[in-house]
A = this chain, B = another copy of it.
Amino acid sequence: MFEPTIKDIAKMCGVGVSTVSRAINNHPDINPETKERIMDAIKESGYVPNDSARNLKRVDAKAIAVLIKGISNPFFTSMIKVIEQECKKKHYAMELSHIEADEDEVDVAQKVVKEKRLRGIIFLGGLFSHSEEKLQKLTVPFVFSAVGSIPESINKNSYSSISVDDRKESARMVDYLIGLGHTRIAILIAEAEEQSIGKLRLEGYCDSLKAHGIAVNPKLVCQTDDGLGHFSMENGYLTTRKLLESKEPFTALYAVADALAIGALRALHEAGLEVPGDVSIAGYDGIDMANYTVPSLTTMHQPVEEMAKATTKLLFNIIAGRAEHQHITYKAELVIKESTDYAARTEKS
């Protein structure tokens, strides 16, 4: 395939390379007829002019990696979309890499980082279980976005983070359910290892119960199957079925992710239970789908667009040396929809 260069264009038009360059860059110092002839030649030949070529070089040179845990969670789909759009604006390539549940994301990052064009890393989701020593080996800046808590032992100036206060917001959701009169509140949790988001949300649940003088009933703390996608509908469905089989009474079910709540909705429906007539259901995340379920889902909405934009902007600013590492906490919003109601009504049914 013939891929013409600026020299070929110059030769075709019988002019020098600098004349072609002037034509392309709209330089005033050029004969208009010559310019027209050159522009025609460029059009016909399929030559990618200088300016685009310069842009292209820039595109080639820079990339960021997004290392994501829990890709089955629709929450991340929205985040990835926004991050990718921000990368495009900055002429960065985005490399997406999925971290398996049994992989260590810092190990994966250490491999990715060997790449010369890589300028930064976004860790999306998952839990934080890395030693400072390991993190220090990463030679590009990185931002943790929507991950669990990061141990105090890690120097806060060595990384950035974007998150909501998962423990506090989770407690707020349970406060709301208790406010409706519920006391037997089941929780569906996934990935409840130390420092993980699931663990933080479970702690928030316990905080709220404790604050209201309600004992935590271990039979209502339902751990999803770790072999399945952590925050998948299937996992929510199967775990709720197990809970129903246990015959442990509950009037509300709080799932620490909307995807889990959607699976729970289905399991309750199949069991002939009405939501919210018999059981109130609440989720967490605020994914798009929560608006379209029947009934629509009460949830703790994370500002996904803002979080994704802030993550990418912060990383780019750090790469460019325009910012220091930062730790930004967003507020989640309690969105009350059809799936939750007063417990009184439940008790009657």
Contacts and interface: CB of A to CB of B under 8 A. Distances in A.
A27 interface: no
Contacts of A262: 289, 292
Nearest to A114: B56
Contacts of A269: 294
A206 B232 CA distance: 37
Contacts of A136: 1
Contacts of A85: 98
Contact of A56 (B46, B111, B139, B294): B111
Nearest to A296: B266
Given A262-B289, A265-B292, A288-B234, A115 B77 contact: no
Nearest to A113: B56
A144 interface: no
A3 interface: yes
A21 to B, nearest CB: 19
A128 interface: no
Interface string A81-111: 1001100100001111110000000000011
A71 interface: yes
A286 to B, nearest CB: 14
Contacts of A98: 81, 84-85, 88
Contacts of A57: 114
Nearest to A85: B98
B56 A84 contact: no
A137 to B, nearest CB: 6
Given A97-B88, A98-B88, A294-B266, A1 B114 contact: no
Closest 7 CB pairs of A and B: A266-B292, A56-B114, A233-B292, A269-B294, A96-B96, A60-B115, A93-B95
